[in-house]
Amino acid sequence: MIRALMLAFAQLSDPRSRRVVWIGVAGAIAAFVALLVLVEWALTSTVLTDWSWVDTAIDVLGGVLTVVLAWILFPAMAAMVSGLLLEEVVARVEQRHYPRLPPPLSSTVLNDMTTALRFLLVVLVANIVALPLYLAAPGLNLLVFYTINGYLLGREYFELVANRRIGRQAARELRRAYPLKPFLAGVIIAFLSTVPVVNLLVPVVASAFMVHVFHTMRWTSSAP
């Protein structure tokens, strides 16, 4: 698995894989600039009280909260934008390391968008549900965070790679037959997601990483 991770980071030397990173970052920046402009317009054009100093304080606090929220959610938004293009990353990894593979199963843009949105929603909802435990149990919260996100990220990235090769049902059966590898890969991805700057690379690195994990599992399952 260490070798798979090293190969995944080496994939960043591919210009088209790096392009996915930059598109994700640029898309997230554009989305949050639009959000900041919208919030600023809403705050400055709305009078909430009869006291100007209170309205000014609300405007300032609203702007600060929006910036903080944008900072926290920036990696998730970048991941979602990149998620629409991860099919290209997976294809590039397979062309580079597994050139003898047959063409993958066909997919649609709508299916790719649905997968990316579902991925974002699952991660956000799971972490919102677990938020009380994160706050109430210092020390244990890290274990909970990496367990939940390790499972979710491992499952989602594994399905992203496996579905295009063996279909949803077979991918699900393979993951259930060898649950530890996708989970451990997901924990590694979850950890990388908490490292500043590195988290912007996670969609590409995680996709490339899971390609190697998947093909290792597939080879293991077919070995006599």
* Tens digits of residue pLDDT in 25-40: 787 778 777 777 776 6
Higher pLDDT, 9 or 26: 9
3-state secondary structure 121-135: HHHHHHHHHHHHHHH
Q: Pick from 69, 60, 9: which is nearest to 35 by CA?
A: 69
Query: How much is the pTM?
Result: 0.75
Condensed to tens digits (0 to 9), the pLDDT of residues 185-217 reads 999 988 887 787 787 788 889 899 999 999 999
Q: Is a pLDDT exceeding 90 seen at residue 181? A: yes
In this prediction, residue 208 carries a pLDDT of 93
User: In this model, does residue 57 exceed pLDDT 90?
Assistant: no
The H or E element containing residue 65 is helix 52-83
43 band by pLDDT with thresholds 50, 70 and 90: low
Domain boundaries, the chain: 2-222
Quick check: 45 pLDDT over 60? yes
What does 126-178 look like in DSSP terms, one character per residue?
Answer: HHHHHHHHHHH-TTHHHHHHHHHHHHHHHHHHHHHHHHHHH-HHHHHHHHHHS
Mean local confidence (pLDDT), 97-111: 82
Whether pLDDT at 112 is above 60? yes
Is the pLDDT at 224 greater than 60, yes or no?
A: no
Please tell me the predicted confidence (pLDDT) of residue 126: 64
